[in-house]
Amino acid sequence: MRWFLISALALIGAVQGQDLQETCLSVDPEPYLMFGTKTAYAFSNRGVPVTRTHEVPGCQPVAIWLLNRHGSHNPEADEMSELQKLVDFKNNIIANYRNGNFRNTNQRMCAADVNLLERWEWNPRQNASYAGDLTTDGYMSTQQLAQAWRSKYPGLFSDNRYDYLFKYVNDQRSSTTFRAFTEGLFKDQAEGMDVPKESDEKLLRPYKFCPAWTRDVEENNETLSQLRTFESKQEYKEMISNISLRLGFTYDVNLETVLSMYDMCRYNKAWEIEKISPWCAVFTKEDIKRLEYSEDLETYYKYGYGTPMNQKIGCTAVKDMMDFFKIHLDQETPQQPKAMVHFTEAEMILLTLSALNGYRDIAPLTGDNYHTQTARERRWSSSNMSPFNANIAAVLYKCIPNNNLKIREPYQVLFLSNERTLYLEGCNVGLCDWSFVKTRLGLVADNCELGFCNGAKNINGFVGLTIALVAFCSKFIS
């Protein structure tokens, strides 16, 4: 009944909009739901082929290496104050609507959108005590993901605790994610299942221990230069003006407020994916696509190919994977553990994908190429790569060589990103010969030495030349 009433209000608003020239964005039957690193896994994972990618004819899985990001969470402590300001800002929007403060009725919010916004309230549980904690949806989606992996690989995700080694970062969110994941795997047996586990910060958050990266990348103004270029574009400024018009303001609201509304929109949609978020009704599809691209520019240079140091930092996970697989090679009997499972953050997911050379574009992303085919068809998409519950899997198979299936060696590695095939140059639809893995990724692992992290020299001082460098190197890729 509640949804019927909301739909009725929306339709009334839409009809009224024919006279008042209002925009009714909450009733879009096909909303754009890709929100960068705050995308719900269910949205990012839509359209996964129904074919059983993990089933490789003539091969049996012998080991799996899995890197997981946590599920959706409460706002971080440093986000709280800005997001709470939306309470007063919402009241201003409602006052604008009631008072008719609109410069241009073509942009006016419809009654249904305003009614949704008026009912929105700040959840008192969103406070410093629970900042960053996993949400109920984040907990459940983690359980479901564990069940999905067990369904795919029942021989690897067994009830034998010695078949596992779990590694996680030392914080509340990761420990809760670990608990949710093991509950998904073992269900009623989870509480009594004392699986091998350990905290490994330097493996799973190496950037936290790298002063050179902090100085030359994270805190370097040049890292965000392409993002600032994009934000300086006239079309980006017009986006802010149009949003301000839609909300009834006689001036352009500041960018920080726009980003707070966007954060609230995407948090809401991650927490309750079936519900309409009143803050999402603030944005058109094109607005959200621009904001998504903004974050892609940030992550591309902060954690991706835009800055050479990032691939050096991401090597720790690759080395861990290679060391793990070597245990299982050329063994007559199964080895333990069979499943190496890690819990980390979005940053490490992106850095690891960079070290693997996944999702690499021919040309770099820049603040000037939003409307180009390069940007429209970009592989580097934080919505696809690192949504909530993002994961990277590498599965080692023992095979009977078969030329018809292009399986030439007894050991193969299948790479998956968020349960989809991860395409790596030199592999057959995500399935790679061990000799290729040993040569290409073994080189990454063997040279995984982070001594430069404490060096005084700025080895990344050529950040300003990165675009030209990446463009040059990309000629030799794919």
Give the 3-state secondary structure of residue 176.
Answer: helix
**Surface-to-core class of residue 126, CB atoms within 10 Å of its CB (0-12 exposed, 13-18 middle, 19+ buried):** middle
Please tell me the distance from the alpha carbon of residue 171 to that of residue 200, in angstroms, as a whole number. Answer: 11
Give the up-direction half-sphere exposure of residue 169: CA atoms within 13 A in the CB hemisphere: 22
pLDDT of residue 45: 86
Say how far apart CA 290 and CA 292 lie, in whole Å.
5
Helix (H, G, I), strand (E, B) or coil at 393: strand
How much is the pLDDT for 471? 38
Q: CA–CA separation, 192 vs 61, rounded Å?
A: 27
Tokens 């995500």 label which residue? 430
Q: Collect all residues with Cβ–Cβ distance below 8 Å to 413 and sequence separation of at least 6.
A: 325, 394, 395, 396, 397, 431, 432, 434, 437
- CA within 13 Å, CB half, 244: 16
What tokens appear for 159 in the block? 């009830």
446 and 287 in contact (C-beta within 8 Å)?
no
Main-chain phi, psi angles of 344, to 5 degrees: -145, -155
Separation of alpha carbons 130 and 113, rounded Å: 29
Give start and end residues of each alpha helix (H) in 211-337: 211-213, 225-231, 234-246, 255-271, 285-302, 309-313, 315-326
Q: What is the pTM of this model?
A: 0.89
Burial 69-108 (b: 16+ CB within 10 A, else e): bbbbbbbeeebbeebeebeebbeebbebbeeeebeeeebb
Q: How far is CA 139 from CA 134, 149, 220, in A?
A: 6, 16, 35
DSSP 371-391: TSHHHHT-S--HHHHSSTT-E
State residue 2's pLDDT score.
Answer: 43
**Closest C-alpha to 348, from 391, 309, 384:** 391
Rounded to an integer, what distance in angstroms lies between the CA atom of residue 270 and that of residue 43? 9
Q: Which amino acid is at 49?
A: P
* In contact, 250 and 95? CB cutoff 8 Å: no
Distance CA(76)–CA(131), nearest Å, equals 5
Distance CA 263, CA 227 (A): 17
pLDDT (0 to 100) of residue 51: 55
The per-residue pLDDT for 162 is 96
Distances (CA, A) of 304 to 86, 368, 466: 32, 18, 11
Sign of the alpha-carbon torsion through 289, 294, 297, 300: negative
Q: Which helix (H) or strand (E) holds 412?
A: strand 411-417
pLDDT for position 47: 65
Closest C-alpha among 379, 301, 308 to residue 347? 301
Mean pLDDT by 10 residues, the chain (478 residues): 42 42 83 97 78 82 98 95 96 91 68 94 89 95 96 95 96 94 94 92 97 97 98 97 93 96 97 94 96 98 97 97 96 94 98 97 95 94 98 96 80 96 91 96 95 69 38 38
Q: Are 474 and 363 in contact (CB under 8 A)?
A: yes
Cα dihedral 290, 292, 295, 301 sign: negative
Residue 388, classified by CB atoms within 10 Å of its CB into exposed (0-12), middle (13-18) or buried (19+), is buried
Residue 22 pLDDT: 73
